[in-house]
Amino acid sequence: MSWIGVKIDTVHHGLEGLETLLSTMGIDGLVIEDEQEFETFLEENRQCWDYVDEDLSRDMAGKSRITFYVEADETGFSTIALVRLALETVKKSQEDWGSLLMTLENLEEEDWAYSWQKYYRPMEIGDRLLVVPEWEQTTMDGRVSLILNPGLTFGTGSHTTTRLCLTAMERLVQQGQKVLDLGCGSGILSIAGLKLGAKSAVGCDIDPLCHKVAYENAALNGITPATYTVLSGDILTDKTLQTAIGTGYDLVVANIVADVILAISKPCQGLIAEGGTFLCSGIIDDRGDEVEAGLKADGWHIVERQQREGWCAFTCKL
């Protein structure tokens, strides 16, 4: 089956009217791209990140676009014709919705579902790990395979901050240990801990979607709930979650952002077993000194500071 992607360029103040117009024609499932909404979202959620990819910012510059998809059949072509006529009517009215330029993109069903897979290949990380996409069968002597489905929402291991954590975990994780992964997302770090020899692991994320995603990735690696638990909630405010997480972890890892790491620095001290380690990453290098100072002020001893490609990670002990 083939599909057609229909893209309509507009302006910010034309988005709502265009959405309504398409809805009256029975066209839903719209993809909205808008620079102004993008910038507003970034500003309102500034606490969640310190860095936004420059390519993404450039791609959003000046953009206000709605995209929808129809099947490449008689019905789909009829829908496209009706939309084109409706846009011409709008252009002749007093509405100023920008150019309303409509472009079409052919998309085979196979491309729709799988074309993104070409961007993910097995990755050697550190000295011991090999991150393998679910559809690959790759193995490598001497390396521990960590199987993931990169089609899911969360991290895949390719980002520098995740690689910093994984290379540190290769050295830190010992047989029989207990690992806690705060901000677990896809579960990559906690699952890696188990694959590297940990006895048990807990993953926790404020996003409830992580529960399903992390368990699915764990299953791909033959890991069951007998050794792996995934929880969701805010560790700083949720008392029930705090109780469920418990204490006595040999390694607590947090690959988040600077502000969150500074916020959980003190609480994490109550989670760690005697002699345990706190590994934190996700820190843009411009804030590395600030985070290091904050960790030290909270009583942490910085064992190691890793820095790579504009990002920092800290290995800490009490």
Does residue 250 contact residue 273 with C-beta atoms inside 8 Å? yes
- Going by pLDDT thresholds of 50, 70 and 90, the confidence category of residue 116 is low
Strand partners, 123: 131
- Going by pLDDT thresholds of 50, 70 and 90, the confidence category of residue 117 is low
Residue 53: predicted pLDDT = 64
Tell me: the pLDDT tens digits for 245-278?
A: 999 999 999 999 899 999 999 999 999 999 999 9
> Which 8-state DSSP code applies to residue 303?
E
Tell me: the pLDDT tens digits for 19-70?
A: 999 998 889 889 998 888 777 776 777 666 666 666 666 766 778 999 999 8
Residue 209: predicted pLDDT = 82
Residue 57: predicted pLDDT = 65
Sorted by sequence, the CB contacts under 8 Å of residue 302 that are 6+ apart come out as 292, 295, 296, 314, 315, 316
Sorted by sequence, the CB contacts under 8 Å of residue 306 that are 6+ apart come out as 164, 167, 168, 281, 312, 313, 314, 315
Is the model's pLDDT at 156 over the cut of 80? no
Identify the architecture of domain 2-115 in CATH: 2-Layer Sandwich (3.30)
What does pLDDT average to over the chain? Answer: 88
- Which amino acid belongs to residue 32? I
Q: Where are the domains of the chain?
A: 2-115, 151-317
Q: Which residue has the higher pLDDT, 117 or 39?
A: 39
**CATH code for the domain defined by 151-317:** 3.40.50.150
Is the model's pLDDT at 226 over the cut of 90? yes
Tell me: the pLDDT tens digits for 199-217?
A: 999 999 998 888 898 999 9
Phi and psi for 278 in degrees, rounded to 5?
-115, 120
- Going by pLDDT thresholds of 50, 70 and 90, the confidence category of residue 137 is confident
Phi and psi for 35 in degrees, rounded to 5?
-60, -45
